[in-house]
Structure 1
Amino acid sequence: MSKPKLLYFDIKARGEPIRLCFAIAGIDFDDVRIGRDELSALKEEPGKLPFGQLPVVEIDGKRLAQTLACCMYVGKKAGLVPTDDWELAKMFEFIGGVEDTQMKITMSIYEQDADKKKKMREDLATTTLPKWFGFLDSLAVQNGSNGYAVGSKLSLADLWVYMSLGWIKMGVLDGIPASLPDKYAALSKVYETVDTHPKVVEWNAAHAKPPQ
C-alpha cells in the first residue's frame, strides 16, 4: 500500500476523526491541509472529489469520501470497528445520535440573520443540546459508564463523542457555554478516554497551534 493521503482544511471538524484513526493505527500518512482556493481547483479535476467536498482519502490511486466511510476503512486497521454484530450496530446508533446533535448546531452556523442566530443558540444551549446530550449520556450509562460509548474498548463512536464535545469545549460557538458538556458525566468520561489515549496525546501535542 502506498502512503495514504488525507485532503482536508487546516481545521479539525470532519477531518480530525480520520486523522486520529491514522494516528491510533500507527499509519504514516500525508496530512494535506488545503485552502479554499485550492478546493476550487480540485473541484475542476474530474473524479478528484466524489461529492465536490472534503474530506477525501487517497490510497493506491483510489479515492474515498465521507468522514464515516474513511474512518471505517482506516479504523478497521486501528481496531476501532467492533467485530461483534450487536456492538457494531450500537456503534452506528451512537454515531447517528452524535451526527443528529451536530446538525442542530450546524443549522445555526448557516443562519445569516443575527437575531435568529442568537435565538437559535439560546435554544441550543438551554433546550436542544441538553436534551440530545442527555440521550447520548444515557446510552453511555447503559454501557456501564466505563469510558467507552460502546463495549469495553475504543471505537469510532468514541471519536465522534470526542469530535462533538471538543467542538463545544473550544468555546468558539457564541451563545453556547464551553462548559456545557461537563454536566454529562458518562459522556465526559468517554471524551477523557480519547483525550488521554497515548496516540491521541502524541498527535495533539504535535499539531497544537500557538495562541493567536
Structure 2
Amino acid sequence: MSGKPKLTYFNGRGCMESIRWLLAAAGVEFEEEFLETREQYQKLIKGGALLFDQVPLVEIDGMKIVQTRAILCYIAAKYNFYGKDLRERALIYMYVEGTADLMGMIITFAFTPPKERNLALIIERATTRYFPVYEKVLKQHGQEFLVGNRFSWADVQLLEAILMVEEKEPTVLSKFLVLQAFKARISNIPTIKKFLQPGSQRKPPPDDQYVATVIEVFKKD
C-alpha cells in the first residue's frame, strides 16, 4: 500500500464527502475504493476492518479508522485545522456540528420517498437556524475565518454546507452578505479551488444509481 490515505466508501457523497473535503483542503492526495456489491461489504466485515460494521473507513498512518467524526477529528488535528487550544477546538467542533446537522438533512433527502421529501424545511432551517449563526459570528469578530482568524475544519465544512444548500436553492445566500464574501474567499484558497475544479475527487449530488447501490449493499439477507 502507498503512503496515501485510502478511503473506502461508495462512489458518492454520503458521510465520506466531508472527509474528502478536509483532506483536499490539507492538500493531501488519497486513494479510494468504492463499494459496489454486498459481497465487498461483507468481506470487510468478516476481515475485521469495520469496527462497528459501518463505513466510511479510512486507512491512514497505519490505522483503520471508522466513524465519521473520529476520522474528521484525526485529520483536522493532524493537519492543523483544529485550533490552537481547547477553547478554539470547542468552537470549531460546535460550528462543525451545526453544519453537520444541516448537511444531514440533505444527505438523507435522496433516500426519502418522494412524497415525504420536504425541501422547504431544509431551506427554512438553513436560512433561519444555521446560516444566521455563521453570518453573525463572522460579522461580530470581523475576521476572515470562523475561529482564531485561521483557516480551520469549521470553515471547510461551512463552505461544503453552503454549496450543498445552493444546489437545492441557488439564491439561498441572497440575504447573507457576509456569507457570500466568506464563500468567495474560502473558494479561492488554492487547495479548495483545486478541489472545486472538474476532475477532482469531489463527488456530484446523489443520483438514482447511487441510491440504488447503497440500498443494494446494505440490504439484509
* Partner in structure 2 of residue 141 of structure 1: 139
Alignment TM-score, normalising by the size of structure 2? 0.75
Structure 1 CA distance, aligned partners of 2:137 and 2:13?
Answer: 25
Q: Distance in 1 between matches of 2:178 and 2:146?
A: 9
What is residue 151 of structure 2 aligned with on the other side?
A: 154
Q: Matched residues, percent identical?
A: 24
For 1:147 and 1:39, the matched residues in 2 are separated by 44
Q: Read off the aligned partner of 1:189 and give its amino acid letter.
A: A
Aligned residues: 201
Which structure would you say has the larger RCO, counting Cα contacts within 8 Å and 6 or more residues apart? 2
Residues 162 and 191 of structure 1 are in contact (CA less than 8 Å); yes or no, is this contact kept in structure 2?
A: yes
Change (3 A) 1:16 1:147: farther
Q: What is the SS of the residue equivalent to 1:58?
A: strand
Counterpart mapping for 1:34-45 below 5 A? 34-37=35-38, 40-45=41-46
Q: Structure 2 matches for 1:95-114, cutoff 5 A?
A: 95-106=96-107, 108-112=109-113, 114=115
* Shift, 1:209, TM fit: 7.8
Aligned 8 A contact 1:143 1:150 in 2:
no
Normalising to structure 1: TM-score of the pair? Answer: 0.77
Q: Once the 2 structures are TM-superposed, how far is the Cα of residue 30 of structure 1 from its aligned partner?
A: 1.5
**Which whole-Å deviations, capped at 9, do the CAs of 1:23-76 have from their partners, x for residues lacking one?**
333333213333354653345434222233322111254211223322222223
Q: Which stretches in structure 1 are left out of the alignment for 5+ residues? A: 172-176
**Gaps (5+ residues) in structure 2?**
205-221
The answer to whether 1:169 aligns with 2:161 is: no
Deviates more, 1:16-25 or 1:92-101: 16-25
What RMSD over aligned residues (CA atoms) do the two structures have, in Å? Answer: 3.0
Output the amino acid matched with 2:183.
Y
- The offset of 1:198, in angstroms, is 0.5
Q: Deviations over 1:179-211 (max 9, x none)?
A: 21343222333333332110122233341789x
Deviations 1:57-113 (A, max 9, x none): 112542112233222222233221101222211111111211222334456554426
Comparing 19-28 with 74-83, greater Cα deviation is found at: 19-28
Q: What SS does the aligned partner of 1:50 have? A: coil
Partner in structure 1 of residue 211 of structure 2: none
* Secondary structure, counterpart of 2:134 in structure 1: helix
Specify whether residues 209 and 54 from structure 1 end up closer, same or farther in structure 2 by C-alpha distance, changes over 3 A only: closer
Mapping 1:1-212, distance limit 5 Å? 2-37=3-38, 40-106=41-107, 108-112=109-113, 114=115, 116-117=116-117, 120-125=118-123, 127-132=124-129, 133-144=131-142, 146-171=143-168, 177-205=169-197, 206-207=199-200
Q: Which amino acid aligns with 1:10?
A: N
CA contact (8 A) 1:101 1:129 kept: yes
The aligned residue for residue 174 of structure 1 is none
Q: Tell me, in whole angstroms, the C-alpha distance in 2 between the residues paired with 1:103 and 1:160.
A: 12
Are residues 6 and 129 of structure 1, via their aligned partners in 2, closer, same or farther at CA, if it must alter by over 3 Å?
same
